[in-house]
Amino acid sequence: MKKPKKHILSIFLMLSSIMLLLVFQYFWLKKVYEDEKNTLQKQIDLTFRTVMMAMQDSLFQKNVKAVGDSNFKFNFFRPFEHFRNPAFFQKDSTKHKDRHIHIQSHLLQHVNKLVHAQKGKTTSSQSNQQSKSKDTLIISEESNIQVFITSDKPQDSLNTILRKIATDRPPEIQSKSFIIRLGNDTLAHTSIMANYQKALLEANIDLPFQLQVLNRQQERENFFSRKTHEGLERGILSAPFFTIPSSPVYQAYFPDSQIFILWKMLPQFVFSFLLVLLTSGAFYLIYHNLQKQEKLIALKNDFISNVTHELKTPVTTVSVAIEALQNFNALQNPTLTKEYLEISQNELNRLAMLVDKIMKMASFESKGIELKLSTINLPQLVNQILKSMKLQFEKYKAEVSFEVNLQNESKNFFIQADEVHLTNVIYNLLDNALKYSKENPNIFIQLTDLGDKVQLAVKDKGIGIASEYKDKIFEKFFRVPTGNIHNIKGYGLGLSYVASVIQQHGGKVEVESRVGEGSCFKIELKK
């Protein structure tokens, strides 16, 4: 019961480690995703605002130009506290003489009102549309005048500023102010799309987007209530852009931002996958090696048990024979003495063979099998082995048949091989066919010419081998599990030795077997 518990505990710890790793990676990837999304949101907002500011600045500068050495500078997007971010020109703080700002004549459709404010007092004057003085504004160097531009075009975003100033005039303004109406300030939809797309590509953001131009009412009732949720789920919305009250609201929507972010996270995904794969693979190898070690321990114990039995049998037999010679006056009977000595000699020979095989297998494992190749007539070698095993066949009452299939009489079965090792291979196969057969074994040996190869098949009608053990019978020390029963002598080295020798000869060995029907071992060797 201890081994299963150890296995269950090991599996539980490994699976728990992998699960914790997956959970950690989930939160890590989620954090990376949020960071990438926030970074993309900031880049989109900054790029959108920069593009819109540049376009509005360019549009305004196109319509309003300074002449001479004017040092008035344009601060269209700088917040102006009292007038809620209107557009304006502001005089430089450096003291100079009078400066001129030139406004294109065709834009001066109506100069309805000039307003200047001083502390505690506001004055206004109606200007004449035809006056050429409206083309040039002369401001003295001591004044701190700000010029505000509005328009009465239908789509102009500044068309209500003058009214608001007239009805809701600030109580205190330190400088004089001029309000002049100009033309339309609406930006072209296609220009915004093109400029924004170009800026995004320069920032390595290749994403399709939708541009919305809405008024404030549409923004409040339709756009944000619908798109904000979608933006959180599938895409990203840029920050709304406007500069002055009642101006259009510009906003870009990126429906495929999620795919873009996931693609940017590809290195993190690959790293996570490889980390989980390597960790799982390491755990699998560790667990597989633990299982293999346990199997090796079981095979070692089985081997020790079998070898102990094999060693004990001849030792016990020799001990009994010596005891009989000593205590039962067997020495006085030459015939009985000879019989006991022959038994002892046979058992000692068998013991020496067992020790020799174990030593050879150890040598094969460390140094490999040293082959002494020579030309061998394979049918002749098989016949010699059959003659040497005649007494064993008679003991088991076995029926042995040998057949040679030669497709062409000009062909032969001469091969280059090590005679000693090849003899041991054939002997092992025949010995297994005898030991693992039922009463009156039936063994069939067949040699077949395969052109440039020769096939040797040893077939029996024994107990057979289960399919799950077919690939393991050639492993060292392995024996088909039968419990702690030693009615079949062996120690799990014979077939391992067979496989090693055949591989050293450049051949291959296969087995076909069914439980209760017998086995067929096939060896192929090059000529």
Domain match, 397 and 490 both? yes
Domain match, 296 and 384 both? no
Tell me the residue range of the domain where 503 lies: 368-526
Query: What mean pLDDT comes out for the span 5-24?
Result: 86
pLDDT digits (tens, 9 = 90+) for 190-237: 888 888 889 888 888 888 888 876 655 554 444 444 444 444 445 566
Of 366, 385, 412, which residue is a domain's last? 366
Lowest mean pLDDT among 109-113, 389-393, 423-427, 509-513: 109-113
Give the separation between CA 415 and CA 421, rounded to whole angstroms.
14
Domain match, 469 and 417 both? yes
Task: Tell me if 103 sits within 8 A of 150, measured CB to CB.
Answer: no
Domain match, 374 and 288 both? no
Give me the pLDDT at residue 365, please.
63
Instruction: Give 478's DSSP letter.
Output: -
Percent of the chain at pLDDT > 90 equals: 17
Percent of the chain at pLDDT > 70 equals: 61
pLDDT digits (tens, 9 = 90+) for 269-290: 999 999 999 999 999 998 888 8
Query: 355 in a domain, yes or no?
Result: yes
SS3 of 131, please? coil
Give the separation between CA 274 and CA 254, rounded to whole angstroms.
32
Q: Read out DSSP for 153-216?
A: STT-TTTTHHHHHHHS--S--SS-EEEEEES--PPPHHHHHHHHHHHHHHTT-----EEEEE-H
At 19, is the pLDDT very low, low, confident or very high (cuts 50, 70, 90)?
Answer: very high
Lowest mean pLDDT among 347-361, 479-493, 495-509: 479-493
Query: What mean pLDDT comes out for the span 433-438?
Result: 85
Give the separation between CA 295 and CA 469, rounded to whole angstroms.
13
Domain match, 319 and 343 both? yes
Kindly report the average pLDDT of the chain as a whole number: 70
The yes-or-no verdict on residue 434 having pLDDT over 80 is yes
Domain match, 387 and 522 both? yes
Domain match, 379 and 351 both? no
Nearest to 176, CA basis, from 110, 91, 99, 98:
91
Query: 174 in a domain, yes or no?
Result: no
Torsion of CA 352, 355, 360, 366, to 10 degrees: -150
Give the separation between CA 395 and CA 231, rounded to whole angstroms.
90
Domain match, 448 and 396 both? yes
Query: 104 in a domain, yes or no?
Result: no
Q: How many domains does the chain have?
A: 2
Task: Tell me if 378 sits within 8 A of 419, measured CB to CB.
Answer: no
Tell me, what CATH number does 465's domain have? Answer: 3.30.565.10
Of 366, 381, 408, which residue is a domain's last? 366
SS3 content of the chain, % helix, strand, coil (to 5): 50, 20, 30
Domain match, 382 and 521 both? yes
- For residues 187-204, one letter each, b for 16 or more C-beta atoms within 10 angstroms of the residue's C-beta and e for the rest, the string is beeeebeebbbebbeeee
Task: Tell me if 430 sits within 8 A of 402, measured CB to CB.
Answer: no
Query: What type of residue is 126?
Result: Q
Domain match, 373 and 522 both? yes
Query: What type of residue is 99?
Result: R
Query: What type of residue is 383?
Result: N
Give me the pLDDT at residue 123, please.
40
The yes-or-no verdict on residue 107 having pLDDT over 90 is no
The yes-or-no verdict on residue 370 having pLDDT over 50 is yes
Query: 109 in a domain, yes or no?
Result: no
SS3 of 341, please? helix
Domain match, 418 and 293 both? no
pLDDT digits (tens, 9 = 90+) for 254-273: 888 888 888 989 999 999 99
Tell me, what CATH number does 316's domain have? Answer: 1.10.287.130
Query: 405 in a domain, yes or no?
Result: yes
The yes-or-no verdict on residue 161 having pLDDT over 80 is no
Which has more pLDDT, 518 or 474?
518
Of 366, 387, 418, which residue is a domain's last? 366
Query: 296 in a domain, yes or no?
Result: yes
Give me the pLDDT at residue 62, please.
59
122 — phi, psi (to 5°)? -130, 130
Domain match, 431 and 503 both? yes
Give me the pLDDT at residue 217, please.
53
Query: 197 in a domain, yes or no?
Result: no
Task: Tell me if 442 sits within 8 A of 436, measured CB to CB.
Answer: no
pLDDT digits (tens, 9 = 90+) for 374-429: 999 999 999 988 988 887 888 888 899 999 887 655 567 889 998 888 988 898 89
Query: 411 in a domain, yes or no?
Result: yes
Residues in the chain: 527
Give the separation between CA 450 and CA 220, rounded to whole angstroms.
89
* Bridge partners (DSSP) listed for residue 74: 89
Across 27-41, 195-209, 493-507, the highest mean pLDDT is recorded for 27-41
Across 58-62, 84-88, 215-219, 447-451, the highest mean pLDDT is recorded for 447-451
Q: 3-state secondary structure string, 43-81?
A: HHHHHHHHHHHHHHHHHHHHHEEEECCCCCEECCCCCCC
